[in-house]
Chain A
């Protein structure tokens, strides 16, 4: 009996193999001509199965935006004690919902881990990713993402104990021979090595697997300095360090980390909608339009304001949105500055590069016309 079963199994395997091999032995020329014919008849490319080309319509039909965010990052994305989502990145999700549905709560949030975030966009699990993700070449090209306007210009910085360096404008040479805490396997670690080598300053890296562990080691005095993104140094520093006031973050910028929302590549209409909502928030701040005073601007005679708020012109409907989408966003969520103040104000994170271009920063919206 067992022998028979082996023979049977062998037969099955062999027949499957034969079936799989058989077509390759068939006349190849016939196959090729048929393929050419099909290609000639059907020039329209097959849309990707999941990402689709009509994400905007899908979202509108669904009635809510699915937004990928960070689940536990101070100031950027977390759940407050009432169970509601809160944070800087989270408020951009609300802005998109407000623009599309006139309801800032028409969002389904997905707390995504660092590993899962880009896959979630590619597979169409989330419509848009707003999870402090740096816009890099690889992510933009090889990973098949389209990044939007930068919402937060971050950069690698270095934090030192005041007893070692008290002047925030000091250069790297003030850190000669210092022990520097850094997270392993990150671009942060590589940047650190590059920068110190370029400045010809000797230092000892103290490497940690985990960001919080690095901060705790720094707090316990195992290193003289710690390096990470500026926003992380400020927020996590206040979370972990026993006395944040005893430390100083140097002005020195060691790398560029532009954080931007991302959507799947190949759907320009949806990407445009996502981008221009953010631009609208920046433009509104430039014009001094806030959630409190937006209604008084409706009667403004300034054509720039009238076009932005949809009082005249058809800017919104050309995007596939309503004409007053910026008005909705400002009314329900606020302009860029308000969102920044509300979420990052408690951390005393100075606007710096994130100030408007009119104030010497980098925040700049293309003209609305």
Chain B
């Protein structure tokens, strides 16, 4: 008679069990785990050692303002903070108004603000107060949004007004004493990168929708113009379009009409991106079943109303991933403005490396630039997921 086995059963839950099940289940999995761990260790060890001993992180601290706003006048810094406060207010308002739909994003913004405040506080930078104020504004407007009448409409109008407001705040105006104009040549750093991204995307989407509709139009001139435009722009590298906008455009315009280079770059981005957005949107238009058009006609909707109310909402919903894809790709493409002499985040980084007191710090500086780009793209992809969930892309 066999002895009764009195040992407890093997663990099936908890971290140890997870490790055993996923990392050491068979001899080859064990070998793989050990091998990869050794590789990770040996490659990360020197990197960690470098960042602790050799790296001169002072270069980031000394130039943080330069990275963020470049050559924007330091005494006008409060305008940038105001832009951030307005954003916090609108996010809070959206959270209070729409609750679940906006909660994830608002909580993330709140967390980011708190994290920045903590980092600044730990490093003894004054900016921690500003981040706390931003968080406080977000919470206050969350409460306001809960009780506001017509909250939904107010929030939508607020968001629509926000983007012109950014421009007014950053650029200033000759007619407002409190906001003296800031020359566009001073717009640089992360500020310029974000402005180019926002303007490029917001400007190119409507143009892209028009081109996509035009390409499907039955009117030959409209259709051939759209096809010609899209194929021309898609067949040209972005660098060429930027050079065109920067160098050739002034040759065509009258001598006294000289739009600023930042505006020219923005126009270049909008024109370029519109061709791609048009193809994205066209993909969505083609996914709409013929029955939808016929049903709309049967209901007596005109062609324009069919497009605006039936086709476009469905088409745009279908291509949300593609639209965000273009958004992210444009965000990274903005670094190409360096070749036409604008100082975006990456160009500022290269200039920082050239400062005599920080020679030889290219590793630190590029790593920092990488982290900024990566952080923003994480936020964008998170926004993408939230929008897809809210619209039920791929589910309905």
Contact = CB atoms under 8 A, between A and B. Distances in A.
B341 interface: yes
Contact of A72 (B66, B72, B353): B353
Chain A CB within 10 Å, residue with most, of B340, B350, B354: B354
Contacts, number: 102
Interface string A83-121: 110100000000000000000000011111101100110
A74 B340 contact: no
Contacts of A239: 353-354, 359-360, 362
Chain A: number of interface residues, binned into ranges: 35 or more
A73 B354 contact: yes
A303 interface: no
Given A71-B351, A83-B70, A83-B74, A113 B338 contact: yes
Contact of A74 (B218, B343, B359): B359
A106 to B, nearest CB: 12
Chain B CB within 10 Å, residue with most, of A71, A124, A240: A71
A83 B66 contact: yes
B181 to A, nearest CB: 14
Contacts of A240: 360, 362
A109 B185 contact: yes
Contacts of B51: none
Contacts of B255: 49-50
A125 to B, nearest CB: 7
B340 A116 contact: yes
Interface string A342-369: 0000110000000000000000000000
Contact of B350 (A49, A72, A86, A125): A72
A53 to B, nearest CB: 13
Contact of B343 (A49, A75, A79): A79
Interface string B349-369: 011111110011010000000
Contacts of B360: 238-241
A71 B353 contact: no
B152 interface: no
Contacts of A78: 351, 354-355
Given A5-B220, A111-B347, A240-B360, A81 B341 contact: no
Contacts of B220: 5, 8-9
Contacts of B247: 116, 119-120, 123, 125
A119 B247 CA distance: 8
A119 B356 CA distance: 29
A110 B338 CA distance: 11
Interface string A304-328: 0000000000000000000000000
Interface in A12-61: 49-50
Contacts of A238: 359-360
Contacts of B383: none
Contact of A71 (B72, B246, B350, B355): B350
B326 interface: no
B250 A125 contact: yes
Nearest to B59: A81
Contacts of B362: 212, 239-240
Nearest to B220: A5
Contacts of B62: 81
A240 B360 CA distance: 5
A80 interface: yes
Contact of B341 (A74, A82, A111, A123): A111
A111 B339 contact: no
A222 B281 CA distance: 51
Contact of A108 (B66, B185, B250): B185
A89 to B, nearest CB: 12
B339 A71 contact: no
B74 A71 contact: no
Nearest to A85: B71
Contact of B347 (A68, A71, A115, A212): A71
Contact of B251 (A50, A71, A79, A212): A50
Contacts of B91: none
B65 interface: yes
Interface in B68-116: 69-72, 74
B267 interface: no
B318 interface: no
Given A79-B66, A81-B63, A347-B356, A111 B343 contact: yes
A52 to B, nearest CB: 8
Contacts of B339: 113, 115-116
A178 to B, nearest CB: 25
A120 B243 CA distance: 11
Contacts of A212: 362
Nearest to A238: B359
B348 interface: yes
Interface of B: 62-63, 65-66, 69-72, 74, 183, 185-186, 218, 220, 224, 243, 246-247, 250-251, 255, 338-343, 347-348, 350-356, 359-360, 362
Given A79-B348, A113-B341, 6 more contacts: A49-B255, A68-B341, A72-B353, A83-B72, A113-B338, A119-B247
29 contacts: A1-B218, A9-B220, A49-B251, A49-B255, A50-B255, A71-B338, A71-B351, A74-B356, A78-B351, A79-B70, A79-B71, A79-B343, A79-B351, A79-B352, A81-B62, A81-B65, A82-B74, A83-B70, A83-B72, A83-B74, A86-B355, A111-B341, A111-B343, A111-B351, A113-B340, A116-B339, A212-B362, A239-B360, A240-B360
